[in-house]
Amino acid sequence: MKIYCVVVHVAYCGLLPFAATSHHIEQVAFMQRRFYVMVNHAVTVLRLPSIILTLWGIWINSGRLFKVINGFERLRLDNFHTLSEAKRHEILKRNDLLIWLKLATAMSLMVMFYVRIFLFVRNPSFPLILLAVYFGFLESLTIFNMNFFFCGICYVNCALRYVKAEIMESTPSNSIPWKTHHLSKILERICHLTRELIGIFQWQLLAIMLADMVALVSLFFNIIIWWYTSVEPLKLPLLLVTLQASFINIGEIFLTAFVCSDTKKCWKSIRQLLFESAARRAISNDNMEQKDLELFSLKMCVYQDNTNICGFFDLDMRTAFNFLQATAINLILLVQFDLKTS
């Protein structure tokens, strides 16, 4: 993986001056007007922080990432074999569906990216094709990194659902203090691994979302200007194809945010169940040893509630909607600026 990062970093730094100054970018700018050419150049350069942070994160934290994944796998093997086969199959099937959906959106985004570039130009030259491959290379890196994070969050979601299923399948006869304490320790371990996972990807996610915002603003801006200045019916399919790529990109961000939100919701419901169970039995139990155990489990639940499971960059549905709102605001400002200067 580190060799991969070195190759990509060298390729990016070597080709960035060519991509940023190449006259071929003018071919994909609307009407080859200077303002639109500047927008395309700005998008090319502003993706630099995203790529550098992505490479840096993969290079530095590759060992931590594998430890986190191995930690979740060890939790699954050591603690969740008591669940019924049907329940395990249901949880894993849902997890596989989320991962396949993410891969499908990633592949469709790549396909639409190339379709969009080649539809803008009638007779693409060889340097322009190389430039398109270069940008596709950068998109592949972003997708590669986001899929790592997405799979990690799916591991978290799967582990939390195992814990919740353990609680739901517990009968009054086997719902004894040691089981509550054991599940509290598992939940604490899941929270620790999740914070490790977010710590690995938080700056990369922030950079990737900012780069996506820049790209989406530029894309929608070109579409709006194109819509107002071109009324040819034959260009409508191309406009729809370009919009489809934008919505796929937005959908990918919202899919990741949905899994994060679902994970946090599941975590809070588990914590509440353990909290209520420990509090109820700690009050009614006369055995001091078991009562101390329940109170210790209760403290663990309270501690987990005061700990931010998502680290510095809290990605959830609220963040995704704020991202969409910021994109719309920047797009409106850019369109107003163009209308005043044109």
pLDDT at 194: 79
5 part of a folded domain: no
Asked if 193 and 130 touch (Cβ cutoff 8 Å), the reply is no
Give mean pLDDT, residues 319-323.
Answer: 69
Q: In this structure, are residues 5 and 58 in contact, taking their beta carbons and an 8 Å threshold?
A: yes
Which amino acid is it at 256? T
Q: Residue 307: what pLDDT? A: 39
- Please give the Cα distance from 122 to 206 (Å, whole number): 36
The Cα 281–Cα 27 span in angstroms is 72
The larger pLDDT score, comparing residue 60 to residue 242, is at 60
- At 310, the pLDDT band (50, 70, 90 cuts) reads very low
> Per-residue DSSP letters for 100-153?
HHHHHHHHHHHHHHHHHHHHH-SS--HHHHHHHHHHHHHHHHHHHHHHHHHHHH
Choice among 259-263, 308-312, 331-335 with the minimum mean pLDDT? 308-312
Band of pLDDT at residue 306, cut at 50, 70 and 90: very low
Rounded CA gap, 192 and 186, in Å?
Answer: 10
In this prediction, residue 193 carries a pLDDT of 80
Determine the Cα–Cα distance for residues 73 and 276; give it in Å rounded to an integer: 28
Q: Count other C-beta atoms under 10 Å from residue 173's C-beta.
A: 6
Mean pLDDT of 288-308: 49
In whole numbers, what is the pLDDT of the chain averaged over residues?
A: 65
Among 128, 108, 107, 130, CA closest to 119: 128
- pTM assigned to the model: 0.63
Share of the chain above pLDDT 90, in %: 0
307: in domain: yes
Residue 157 domain-assigned (yes or no): yes
209 part of a folded domain: yes
pLDDT above 70 for 98: yes
Instruction: Answer whether 143's CB lies under 8 Å from 109's CB.
Output: yes
222 found inside a domain: yes
> What per-residue confidence (pLDDT) applies to 201?
74
Number of domains in the chain: 1
Task: Count, in order, helices (H) and strands (E) of the chain.
Answer: 9, 0
The whole domain housing 186 covers 62-341
Mean pLDDT on 165-184: 64
Residue with tokens 């163009």: 338
In a domain, 47, yes or no: no
Task: Establish if 7 belongs to a structural domain.
Answer: no
Assigned domain for 67 exists: yes
